Amino acid sequence: MTDCPHLSDTELWLDGEGGARAAQIAQHVAACPACRAHADTIRRLDFAAREAAVRIKAPAGLQSRLDDIDAARPAPQADGVSRRRVFAGFAAAASVAAIGSVAALRQRDSGDLSVAVFGDFATHLAADRNLDLTETNPQAVVDWFSPKVPFDLPRLASLSEVDLVGGRLCWLLDRRIAAFNFNRGSEALGLYVADSDGLTCQHAALPQADEPPMLLSDGGLNGAFWQEGAIAHALVGQPAPDVIAHLANLLDTYDTSKPG
């Protein structure tokens, strides 16, 4: 397969740096076999890097070294190189792959749950990414997630208004997050569940279970954000804000103890 001159655009798009050209790049990737294969390879490398970041302890002094890199790095150009190329030469080493993941995470707002999940769900939809698990039984999805995340998951019950379609294990905000994917007719939703330690939403504390969820919109998506005990929840998707709020109130009643 011959290379395409737009491979670097594909990398920028996957990094969330496509800017105003994101839709155009996504359309090109869908039609170009070389860029589509390149995107698939990058996603596999990203997954490997996230796994390495979970397993491998970062070396002492990493924070200081990353600060030095950030200080020395020039501002990105319109046709600049994507962040992953900064670490591309080290992709073979798992420990350095972990460093690459940490460096990428530092480019985002490190504790804002809304920024992280709006960006992740928009990318998930635009890139048409596969689920880690395709399953309609709520308990089966919870059972699949349970050994993979370091916190207790909610007991999800079937909702007549939405259809569970599966789940994804995400690495966002320097932690593992369980993302349950639903469809409401032709509209997609994602319920993100995470350890709430250090998380905020729009620089404010997450509302507790006895308070109304925080409702936000971003890039055509709507979301509800709240906290139950030590567990943060974010329901984001394509339905209208009032529908998101209604579904969040239903989800807010779920027990967050580990399934028996």
Mean pLDDT value of segment 103-118: 68
Higher pLDDT, residue 95 or 157: 157
Domain boundary among 55, 74, 105: 105
Highest-scoring range by mean pLDDT, 29-33, 71-75, 86-90, 249-253: 29-33
Q: Which residues contact 40 (CB under 8 A, 6 or more apart)?
A: none
Which residues fall within 8 angstroms of residue 156, CB to CB, at 6 or more apart?
138, 139, 141, 142, 164, 180, 254
pLDDT at 185 over 50: yes
Residue 257 lies in a domain: no
Whether residues 96 and 204 fall in one domain: no
Same structural domain, 80 and 126: no
Give the residue-averaged pLDDT of 34-60: 66
Number of H helices and E strands in the chain, helices first, is 8, 7
0.75 exceeded by pTM: no
Residues 242 and 127 in one domain: yes
Under the banding of pLDDT at 50, 70 and 90, the label for residue 58 is low
Q: Which domain holds residue 87?
A: 7-105
Give the three-class secondary structure for 215.
strand
Asked whether the predicted pLDDT for residue 95 surpasses 50, the reply is: no
Residue 172 lies in a domain: yes
Strands 221-228 and 133-134: unpaired
Residue at 256 is within a domain: no
Task: Calculate Rg over the CA atoms of the chain.
Answer: 19
The pLDDT-based confidence of 106 (bands split at 50, 70, 90) is very low
- Is the pLDDT confidence value at 1 over 90? no
In a domain, 135, yes or no: yes
The reported pLDDT for the residue numbered 89 is: 42
Please give the full DSSP string across 27-51, using - where no structure is assigned. HHHHH-HHHHHHHHHHHHHHHHHHH
Is it the case that residue 12 has pLDDT exceeding 60?
yes
pLDDT digits (tens, 9 = 90+) for 199-231: 999 889 999 988 999 999 998 999 999 999 899
Q: Residue 239: its pLDDT value, please? A: 97
pLDDT band, very low/low/confident/very high, at 235 (cuts 50, 70, 90): very high
Q: Residue 135 is which amino acid? A: E
* Residue 65, both tokens: 């070294």
Same domain, 128 and 246: yes
More confident residue, 118 or 94: 118
